[in-house]
Amino acid sequence: MRPANHVFSGLGTTIFTVMSALAAEHGAINLGQGFPDDEGPDDVRAVAAKALIDGPNQYPPMPGLPALRQAVAAANKRFYGLDVDWQKQVLVTSGATEALNDCLMALLNPGDEAILIEPAYDSYKPVIEAVGAKIVTVALEPPHWTLPLDRLAAAFTSKTKLILLNTPMNPTGKVFTRAELDAIAALLVKHDAYAVCDEVYEHLVFSGHKHIPLMTLPGMAERCVRIGSAGKTFSLTGWKIGYITGPEHLMTPIMKAHQFVTFTTAPATQTAIAFGLGKDDSYFAGLAASLEAKRDILAAGLKDAGFDVLPTNGTYFISADFRPLGFNGTDEEFCRDITIKAKVAAIPLSAFYAPNAAHAPRHLARFCFCKQDAILAESSARLKAYAKK
């Protein structure tokens, strides 16, 4: 038989699915795959339920329901002062995952170079490779996940079409600073390149830190597309509603990609997210405050269990160095071991690097803290008991 596509046939199952399955098999608490263990806001779900019954339930407009596109434009203005034309500059997608694919397919040609900052979310790489573009990586330096500006500058060439920038960043919890964003912006101008900005954790940023969309910097509105996710902003990861904001000259081809990837997204959930994006500032601040408190609970619990805990300033995730526990294997081995023996699942950080990358850290595990406080406490207790053995 003839081989299928070389990129996809060469891939394994994503680490999130692998670890969730292992957690289920062993009855472990799942602090691996990132999803909240509550049901999301009642009022947002009530709007969806009503819209599902009342209809319409046929194909919504290809770029998204006007109400949601207007709400995305209004949120851009409210949170970041961005002036966005909802008809030309906003697209609704089936999750940020589709949004990323649409952007990469629409912007890259075979032979172009795309810069990824490692550790990088696992869906970026295969899509870039599938369109025939070349990946150039720049690795952050743990434990503070410093961006090496000299190496970043060296990664840009005349073939660089875009950089993929994820801030706040999964898995590190890094929130890129204004100085780092200024440096990236200068490189984009110098090399006439674009940025695909994965900002799904835009509202999950903790005290002392601020999310700055690269798009808000001088000259960047024409070069950036920014991606949001209702999954993260409303704790409704199963709904798969994402949205892209960008300049018309980039949104036009991105909408063409979208029309043949999914064409459109379920209408009832779009109506509900349009309502959700209009909620008071207190909703968004409350979400961040609640997650910050959970971060603090898990950070303290992991420290108490003996881990060296890395700083995290946003997202659902915290990373911890397990070497002080006396575990000498790899991060994959560690995550399997705690899933089976401590009955707590986590994600090995090396999953966010190219396979066999020599520079990938092998001593860090990512734990997800968007869980009930009692679950976080129980996880820490189990890990402490495991560490003592």
By CB under 6 A, name the binding residues for ligand GLN.
14, 16, 33-34, 170
CB 70 within 8 A of CB 222: no
Q: What minimum distance in Å lies between the beta carbon of 53 and ligand PMP?
A: 25
Which window, 94-102, 110-118, 205-213, 297-305, contacts ligand PMP (CB under 6 A)? 94-102
With 0-12 CB in 10 A as exposed, 13-18 as middle and 19+ as buried, what is 179?
A: exposed
Are the beta carbons of 132 and 111 closer than 8 angstroms? yes
Minimum separation from the CB atom of position 307 to ligand PMP (A): 22
Least Å distance between CB 294 and ligand GLN? 15
Question: Which one of ligand GLN, ligand PMP, none interacts with residue 235, CB within 5 to 8 A by kind?
Answer: none
Candidates 44-52, 237-245, 275-283, 287-295: pick the segment binding ligand PMP (CB under 6 A). 237-245
Nearer Cβ to ligand GLN (170/264): 170
CB-CB neighbours of 30 under 10 Å? 22
Q: Which does 290 bind (CB under 5 to 8 A by kind): ligand PMP, ligand GLN, none?
A: none
33 binds, among ligand GLN, ligand PMP, none (CB under 5 to 8 A by kind): ligand GLN
Work out whether 97 is an interface residue with ligand PMP (CB under 6 A): yes
Q: HSE-up of 368 (CA within 13 Å, CB side)?
A: 23
> Do residues 257 and 101 touch, judged by C-beta distance below 8 A?
yes
Distance CA 64, CA 61 (A): 5
Residues 139-178: x/- map of binding to ligand PMP (CB under 6 A)?
Answer: ---------------------------x---x--------
**Minimum distance between the CB of residue 367 and ligand PMP, rounded to whole angstroms?**
14
User: Do the Cβ atoms of 277 and 64 come closer than 8 Å?
Assistant: no
Distance CA 322, CA 338 (A): 11
Name the residue with the smallest CB distance to ligand PMP.
95
| One-letter amino acid of 78 | R
121 touches ligand PMP by CB under 6 A: yes
330 binds, among ligand PMP, ligand GLN, none (CB under 5 to 8 A by kind): none
Question: Among 72, 163, 196, 200, which residue sits at the site for ligand PMP (rule: CB under 6 A)?
Answer: 200
Please report, for residues 201, 239, 276, 278, the alpha-carbon distance to residue 284 in angstroms, rounded to integers and kept in the order given: 12, 19, 10, 10
Q: Which H or E run includes 299?
A: helix 281-305
Q: Which is nearer to ligand GLN, 14 or 330 (CB)?
A: 14
Q: Show the beta-strand stretches assigned E in the chain.
A: 29-30, 90-93, 113-118, 134-139, 160-166, 194-198, 224-229, 242-245, 308-309, 317-321, 344-345, 347-348, 364-368
Q: Which of 70, 160, 237, 264 binds ligand PMP (CB under 6 A)?
A: 237
To the nearest whole angstrom, how small is the minimum distance from the Cβ of residue 9 to ligand GLN?
A: 19
Neighbours of 362 (CB within 10 A): 15
The yes or no reply on residue 270 touching ligand PMP (CB under 6 A) is: no
Residues that bind ligand PMP (CB under 6 A): 95-97, 121, 166, 170, 198, 200, 229, 231, 237, 240, 242
